Structure 1
């Protein structure tokens, strides 16, 4: 019968997508991890991975086993905390995902204080605009914007952000300033293509007390928020973006807000984590660092 370390080697291979990276994390050779997984498949009598020269991907049986192994690993961690008296000082590695720009604005400033307060806590931070599978990829927590759609996740609100329309002053001097959202038809609109879905994000406004969703013709479509703001600053056109992306450009006078009277309602920024998992000392430390007023 395969031992616990064999199952953990399997789980690390899933989480990191290769035997080589799993081996590096476990302090083993890639061949040792591959042989361990092969023995597990032989022991169980099922194929857990579809293997190619570039990567490994899970079979249906592999996905089922991986979810069970993750739950067992969580239980082992909980037993360890209880046996050690659930000490307040968090240890181990906290795995966190956040959108690139939002992570730079919220996570990176909190890291120094978090490390000073909890020196035994290690952080693995992935800044990516892709929508990660928090449970499947064994991520401890992630930053999400807007209403929480996934019922398997719990959320701790840590703030909010506003969507704003911006333009460069020299663009407005040449083309005039829109007075209402209807005026956007006469302007060059720069649209954002969401990396997670591939969809072009609509523009939202409050008009006569109601939420209005517009899809103005796209003069330029960009899948990177910072590049979108940079293009606006160059005078290419107008864009609707989160306010946290515009702070420096507005302070420098490179862009200004327009249509401020038609701003849509602010959207919540939340730290989300799997509902089925307990709040570990590591996760609680992160919550306190990001939202110290929340308990």
Structure 2
């Protein structure tokens, strides 16, 4: 059992970026993306795509743009959840397309025995956590299994997985696995060397929310220290501008406690300022729009096994 005495007090990082500075940065530098690639794919105008590769870049790009915009709205005290919902729906959809193509690539191109390794574990885990934040239990659960299937089938980008040591993202996936109880991954040692996360995993089901408070405060402090600017050799879990002030790992834990019927504590910490001081109500699901419907229609026509490959049953079998 991990004890609090094993945790070195961190306090709030002195260089942690202010909300107004983040909002200003986003508003001045947000990259506008388009759905042109999806339109081209859906209309079969991509004549050079002779292998019928499923295109997901438009969904990732526009999803990223909406994610950044949602972050600025949240930090500026404006309605943000609908924008977050659109962003999350697009990114979950892109991950499903990406997973299918990784599996299909190994069949289509057997001369490449190692297959593709292009799924970013850290990003896919964050997409899952945002689905939990929104209260999309079904979608978040699917994403959790998809992420583990991608990991266990070795679809992940090597550098983010082996070199960048994203302990926060590994914690969220370990938390998911603990909640479900029927999925796991053999993580590298770095995923187990953060006592704050080990302590939370041991206690997150405790009926008394106050038991979690010192551990969660320590996790909040750690978040501020992991919200730093990266270099080519130094990496941080929450350096992305959408995560600097968003306690995504804390809110995912809160959602899981709520799902299993346990109360959550109130945390007095700057990271947990509104609108992150409490879980939002369960948000309406984003219904597939004409872009997503068109992409699915072509994918299913080109690849009759699409739905079977990306089915929950197939993911759970990994």
TM-score tier by shorter-chain length is: under 0.3
Instruction: Using structure 2 for the length normalisation, give the TM-score.
Output: 0.26
Instruction: Using structure 1 for the length normalisation, give the TM-score.
Output: 0.28
Higher strand share goes to which structure? Answer: 1
Higher helix share goes to which structure? Answer: 2
